[in-house]
Amino acid sequence: MESPAPAGMRAHPAGNAGSRPVWTGSAPPPADGFVARPETGHSLQAALVPGTTVALACDRATAGPRSWGDSTGKTQLAVAFAHSLWQAAAVDLVIWISATSRAQVLSGYAEAAAALGVQLSGEAESVAARFLSWLREFPRPWLVVVDDLTDAAFMTRLWPQGQSGRVLITTPDSATLTGVHARVIPVGVFSRREALTYMVGRLTADLDQRQGAIDLVGDLGNEPLALALASAVIASSELTCHDYREHFLRRREQLLGAVAPAAAGPAAGAIAWALSVDHAELLSPGAAHPLLVLAALLDGNGIPATVFATSAVRAYCPPDGTYSVPGGAVQDGLAALEHAGLMTADPSSTPPLMRMSALVQAAVRSAMPEAMLKGAATAAADALHEAWPAEDPPEWLARALRSCADSLRQWSAGLLWEGGVHALLMRAGSSLDMAHLTGPAVTYWEELAATSTRVLGEDHPATTGITEHLARAYLAAGRAAESIALLERVRGDRARRTGPDHPGSAQAGRDLGMALVTANRFGEAMGVLAEVASGWERSAGAESIEAISAREDLAAATRAAGKFSEAVTMYRGALKDRERIQGARHPDTTATCQKLAETYLAAGQAKEAISHYERVVSDRERTLGADHLHTIAARGALGSACHSAGRMAPAVRLYEQTRTAYIRALGADHPDTLGASVNLAHAYYGVGRLTDAATLLRETVQRCELSLPASDPLTVTARTSLANISGDSGQR
């Protein structure tokens, strides 16, 4: 997500690889009344110079759960530093990453690559590695902020490096950074002068409210969070600092009486947040507190505002008759929480994000009775699922929803498993799959499968469904053997429960067959897929679309086994069936025609392949347009067929058209463009244009080395081809 630059400025994505300034990631906005901390934050500016990594950590070690003393304003210092560099045009790229999980980090890098116009595709770990390689060579100044890092393992192999870049980390505990090469700057509370400046800066509407400010900031211990909560209550009420201090001292005496004599007194933040809750309830009786409880279970780094606009939340916070519009109580409750300093709205995105301090969230959860937790967890899960768009949302929004779901899963214990698995848990896992977050997806589905087996039992339908997702995640991660073992179990469970010809059993059989193909177990794959095809023919009819598709799956396995003649026969039959049932111009028919062309080419029947590819290109151009990616790919495949047939003139022309179209659509560094460049160079070599071939390969090798791992097959192919042509590997 693009994040706003300060003072009305807004970052924008670059047209190509950083030609304009870019800010990506959801950074919190500067706090109201922010002070630059000239006495306690001055060392950051001097320490964080290009080529360095600096971490902001609490000025004292923490043990166990976070405490109120952890709130020293580290994130706000990072926000101010990033904005100062941005406003001064001292950086051309800012990447803000909320490091609450490895999935969040990987997703943040993918978003940054897309915003920069660095076209990368594939599995998220690979995308991140290629992007970091690109970033290492990026010549213009950049800043990566890794905010709220609680586990350095989230950043394993993901630390950005480069002489042009700065890396800024915020973490509650410097012990988190063991083994990380970073200069640690301890951050404590405000100085007395900074605290007083902040307090009076927040109280500008009524200067009389500043009365007693000096004494109040002393009682608040100069703690940034306590000051923020207190000033919010005063600013949204008729209280003065003196009045608030009286409430504060009275509450502290009450709390002191409730603890053992030898115990330390309550922290200023613990008292301030309780007074803020009282104030919010006064502003919005009955609505503010339920919303506070619900929000405490989600990710306080950013809760999409659409979550609070759902019917699930409205049902959880029903109006009391004083509101004339649905959701009036919710809107009033959110406003009350903002006025009390317990929540802030960040309007820089659409939808806006609601933020809440992790320490406030922890305090709310610790005070939450079990009965309240159950109702809040159910409402939060229902609301997240309702707010999740049916179509793929922008990655920043999907990231926020996933993180909220992770937080809810962490704090709700087993409440989302009562009566079965809550739909939110399945939606969050599917989102990881769709984002190609392969490693996090495997971990997620493994945890879900273990929980489902323990809570619901191994034979429960929900466990079978989760196991199927886990099997697909294993397959995406290249762990075919583990995938096959699970899919065999899923297929057996489905067949016992619903019968071998049920659509669910058929889908499990198809997945198993494709996994066997991936594992090069072609004979077994053909046997399984033949059974699936026969099942569809029995249950839906031989001319059903399902049966035709199943026969094509069998044809694909047959082709993978090298039985090209048999595969051609199967695809020809499927093409005739689709032409008769769906029509010659249907997209499915065109797709089958392309599969047949591919099989002809694999079988060495270039003439037949060319004929069918020409039909595919014509159909794609008519239905999708000449510049659609499917059309471009088909044109490139036709060029390959012409090349194989020795028809070099049309091959060169088609390859040139393909490469030009890919550059226009995807950029010069996209793997598809680079692959087209290698093909064109080979064609140039084939017609004797040796200089053109070497020049193009040299450029392609350089681009591959910047955007792909050194071991990537395309990089190796381009480098080898260049060495064969000119004796130059392209390496420098």
Please report which helix (H) or strand (E) contains residue 728, including its range: none
pLDDT at res. 126: 85
Helix, coil or strand: residue 2: strand
Q: What is the Cα–Cα distance from 513 to 510, expressed in whole angstroms?
A: 5
What is the DSSP track for 212-276? Answer: THHHHHHHTTT-HHHHHHHHHHHHTSS--HHHHHHHHHHHHHHHHTTS-TTSPPPPHHHHHHHHH
More confident residue, 391 or 155: 155
How does residue 543 score in pLDDT terms, banded at 50, 70 and 90? Answer: very high
Q: Which of 19-28, 129-138, 534-543 has the highest mean pLDDT?
A: 534-543
Instruction: Report yes or no: 209 and 234 within 8 Å, Cβ to Cβ.
Output: yes
- Return the closest-CA partner of residue 604 out of 562, 632, 556, 571: 562
Which percentage of the chain shows pLDDT scores above 90? 75
For residues 212 and 39, the model is more confident at: 212
pLDDT at 15: 38
The rounded distance, in Å, linking the Cα atoms of 513 and 560 is 12
- 716 vs 43 pLDDT, higher one: 716
> Which pLDDT score, from 0 to 100, does residue 20 have?
80
The CA distance from 552 to 571, in Å, is 6
State the residue for tokens 């199943």. 550
* Residue-averaged pLDDT of the chain: 90
Please tell me the number of Cα atoms within 13 Å of 132 on its side-chain side: 20
Selected residue with higher pLDDT from 708 and 614 = 614
Just give the CATH number of 608-726.
Answer: 1.25.40.10
User: Quick check: 569 pLDDT over 50?
Assistant: yes
- Helix (H) or strand (E) holding 57, with range, is strand 53-58
Quote the CA–CA distance of 573 and 548 in Å, as a whole number.
Answer: 9
pLDDT band at 321 (very low <50, low <70, confident <90, very high): low
Residue 434 has pLDDT above 90, yes or no: yes
296 has pLDDT over 60:
yes
Work out the average pLDDT over 316-332.
72
Least confident of 44-48, 61-65, 209-213, 613-617: 61-65
The answer, yes or no, to whether residue 240 has pLDDT greater than 70, is yes
Interhelix angle for 690-707 vs 124-137, to 10°?
A: 110
Find all residues with CB under 8 Å of 681, minimum gap 6, and list them.
Answer: 692, 693, 694, 696, 697, 700, 721, 725
Q: Can you give the pLDDT at residue 12?
A: 35
Rounded distance between C-alpha atoms, residue 502 and residue 272, angstroms: 60
State the Cα torsion 125-431-97-187 to the nearest 10°. Answer: -110
Of 503-507, 653-657, 712-716, least confident by mean pLDDT is: 712-716
What pLDDT was estimated at residue 138? 86
Instruction: Identify which of 295, 266, 267, 265 has the alpha carbon closest to the alpha carbon of residue 280.
Output: 295
| Predicted pLDDT of residue 521 | 96
Tokens of 133: 């390689």
What is the mean pLDDT of the segment spanning 657-666?
Answer: 93
437 pLDDT more than 70: yes
pLDDT over 80 at 711, yes or no: no
pLDDT for residue 118 is more than 90: no
pTM of the model: 0.85
pLDDT score for 546: 96
Q: Where are the alpha helices (DSSP H) in 117-219?
A: 124-137, 192-202, 213-219
What pLDDT is recorded for position 42? 74
Tokens of 376: 């809040």
Mean pLDDT of 687-697: 95
pLDDT in tens, 43-93: 888 899 999 999 999 877 654 556 776 788 899 999 999 999 999 999 999
- On the question of pLDDT at 503 being above 70, the answer is yes
Q: What is the mean pLDDT of residues 225-248?
A: 96
The two tokens of residue 614 are: 């020409």
pLDDT at 13 over 90: no
Name the one residue in this structure whose structure tokens are 């947040």: 273
Q: Which has more pLDDT, 482 or 116?
A: 482
Q: How far apart are CA 222 and CA 190, in angstroms?
A: 5
pLDDT of residue 561: 96
Looking at the domain 22-187, which fold is it?
A: Rossmann fold (3.40.50)
Sequence-separated contacts (24+) of 604-609 with Cβ below 8 Å: 604/644, 605/568, 606/641, 606/642, 606/644, 606/645, 607/645, 609/641, 609/644
Which helix (H) or strand (E) segment is 144 a member of? strand 142-147
User: pLDDT band at residue 9, thresholds of 50, 70 and 90?
Assistant: very low
Say which amino acid occupies 187.
Answer: V
Predicted confidence (pLDDT) at residue 10 exceeds the cutoff of 70: no
| Residue 208: pLDDT band with limits 50, 70, 90 | very high
Cα–Cα dist 556/518, whole Å? 11
Q: What percent of the chain clears pLDDT 70, i.e. is strictly above it? A: 92
CB 510 within 8 A of CB 490: no
The widest CA-to-CA distance across the chain, in whole angstroms, is: 93
Judge whether residue 555 has pLDDT over 60: yes
Of 704 and 337, the one with more pLDDT: 337
pLDDT at 729: 57
Q: Note the Cα 139 to chain centre separation in Å.
A: 27
| Alpha-helix residue ranges (DSSP H) falling in 284-369 | 288-295, 311-316, 328-339, 358-366
Q: Is 558 within 8 Å of 570 (Cβ atoms)?
A: yes
- Kindly report which listed range (252-256, 304-308, 600-604) carries the lowest average pLDDT score: 252-256
Residues 353-400 have pLDDT tens digits of 999 999 999 999 999 988 899 999 999 999 999 999 988 889 899 999
> Average pLDDT for residues 619-636, to the nearest whole number?
95
Delimit the domains of the chain by residue range. 22-187, 192-283, 608-726
Q: What is residue 517's three-state secondary structure?
A: helix
**β-bridge partners, 54:** 168, 183
Nearest to residue 415, comparing CAs of 458, 368, 380? 380
Question: Are residues 96 and 145 in contact, defined by beta-carbon separation less than 8 angstroms?
Answer: yes
* Contact call for residues 377 and 416 (beta carbons, < 8 A): yes
Beta carbons within 10 angstroms of residue 192's beta carbon = 13
- The single-letter code of the amino acid at 677 is S
Confidence of residue 122 (pLDDT cuts 50, 70, 90): confident
Residue-wise pLDDT tens digits, 160-191: 999 999 999 999 888 888 889 999 999 999 99
CA distances from 419 to 231, 262, 413 (A): 45, 46, 14
User: What's the rounded Cα separation, in Å, for the pair 226 and 215?
Assistant: 14
What pLDDT band is residue 119 in, cutting at 50, 70 and 90? low
Q: Which residues contact 235 (CB under 8 A, 6 or more apart)?
A: 202, 203, 205, 209
